[in-house]
Every structure is written in structure tokens, then in C-alpha cells.
A = this chain, B = another copy of it.
Amino acid sequence: MKICSKDYLMFSFNAKEPPALYVEQGEMFQVETHDRFFGRREFDTVLSEVGGGRDPLNAITGPIFVEGAKPGLILKVDVLKLELTDDKGVVCAVPGKGGFADKIWETRTKVVRIKEGYAYFTDDIKIPIAPHIGRIGTSPPPPEEIPTGTAGRHGGNMDNNMLGEGSTVYLPIFTEGAFLGVGDFHAVMGDGESVLTGVEVAGRATLRCEVVDWPPITWPLLKTRDYVMNMVSAKTLDEATKIALDDMAKLLQRIRGMDYIDAAMLISIAADLRICQIVNPVKTVKVIVPRHILPI
């Protein structure tokens, strides 16, 4: 199986640099990623030792060129397997960042042991792990680029804790080959990623891509065993919420042939409006619909 090594770093979603890997549609392949701190355990050493003029905290792996990917179509990515390759992860708090912002008075990194399916915050407090991919996205046509730390219609730093093994993500394609980037794995993270990070960890994802023209999406979509959800990002939660609800109502309209107001009513009683993350340059919300309601 082809492997995209974690030596191939992307510092933005872009199609300007040569692809790290070429894959066919339907071909299984693997992507390795560093943990967000490159194995370092002190926040400051990451910035000083790994940087090389670029922001190492935002490095992901890629780009991957998918044969047949064309602008206007959709990249369907199956997350077949998601392995953690380290028995330790890192949580980090930084003054002025994230949902606690001004309340954080010092930079603190905390190493969390991962053992037998649990992340040990302390010896007493253990949390069942639920590994997922924090960042996955396609690239804009050159010379454009999108910082890997943000999120948008291309995907990116969405930090959806349901994007784990067995899920399928649908991403709009903007340039030939799609130029897929993948990274920012978390062993576990709550909705919100409230302080700034999840349990950041190195890993290996086994993926399979297909180029499709359905479902009719304008924002990224995620399908799990039980649910389908969109992932919409904007400057504020209130703005992201408004766009995500409208996006999901339109999807229900198109896929089920429902009237818009009926779709809105159905979302109100049967779908969950939830937060992915509040700590990136834009915030991300998701509208989570049971699969029997949105059959894709």
C-alpha cells in the first residue's frame, strides 16, 4: 500500500507545491502524521526548534493528488482505519487563545499517557479515547493558498470529534487532483476543543478516495454509522450557526424534496445543532441529522 510519509509537510492547503503522493480512485493508501508538537513536550521548543520560518504547530501531511479529481466535483474520503502511533499525547493551554482566553495566565503543556483505550489526564482521571482527524481538506487553485489552521468550504481545521475510523467525509474539489492534506489527529477531544487542543497525537490513517458528483454539497459533509452532518465555519458561533442551519435545510430540500420550512421544522425537532470547535481563526458548527432522515 502506498504511504504518504509524515516527512511531507504542508503549511497551507495549496496546489503550488509538487504532490507528495499520487493515488487512484478506490485505491487504499496511508497517511502518517506527526503529533502537533512533533514529539516535543514543551510548547516553546516546538516553535523554536521545528519552525524553519514556518508555523510548525500548523503542519499537516500532504498534498495528495487524487487522479480524476476536478473542480466542481466532490472528493469522498473513507476513513478505513485510524491508528495512534504513540502512547502519549499532549494537551496545551496558551494565554489569550481559545475559549478561556484571558483566564489562562501561563503557557502549559501536559503529557497524557494513552493506555488500553484510555487517555490518563491524571492517574485518577482517565477518559475513553475516541481517535479522530482534526484537519482534512482540499486545496484552492494556485496561486491561492489557505492556512492549515483555519477551516472553510474546503474542509481544513474543522476539529469534528466524530471524524473517526469508519466515517466518510465529503469535500468540495477546487483544483485538478484535489491536493488533499491530512493531519492534527486527536486521541480524544470534547465538542468545542475548548482550551485550544485535544489530546494531540501522532498517527496513521488508512484512507480511500473517490470522486463523485453527489450529494449536492457546498460545505463539507460527514457520514458516520448513525448520522450525517455538515461542518460550517464562520467568524462567530452565531454566524456559523445561521449558515449551517440554512445549508442543512437546503440539503434536506434537495435530497428529500422537502419544502424549506418543513426542513427547518424537522431540523428543530430531530437534528442536533452542535459545536465542533471555538478555538481556530473561524469557529465551526455542525448540524447532525440521523441517517434515516438524510439518506446519502
Contact = CB atoms under 8 A, between A and B. Distances in A.
A30 to B, nearest CB: 26
Integer count of this chain's copies in the complex: 2
Interface residues of A, number: 59
A57 to B, nearest CB: 16
Contacts of A91: 265, 268-269
Given A191-B274, A269-B121, A270-B127, A103 B264 contact: yes
Contacts of A195: 261, 264-265, 267-268
Contact of A105 (B93, B188, B261, B290): B261
Interface of A: 91-93, 98-101, 103-106, 108, 110, 112, 119, 121, 125, 127, 188-199, 236-238, 241-242, 245-246, 249, 260-262, 264-275, 278, 283, 287, 290, 292-293
16 contacts: A91-B265, A99-B273, A103-B246, A103-B260, A110-B265, A121-B269, A189-B268, A190-B270, A190-B272, A190-B273, A191-B272, A192-B241, A194-B267, A196-B268, A272-B274, A274-B274
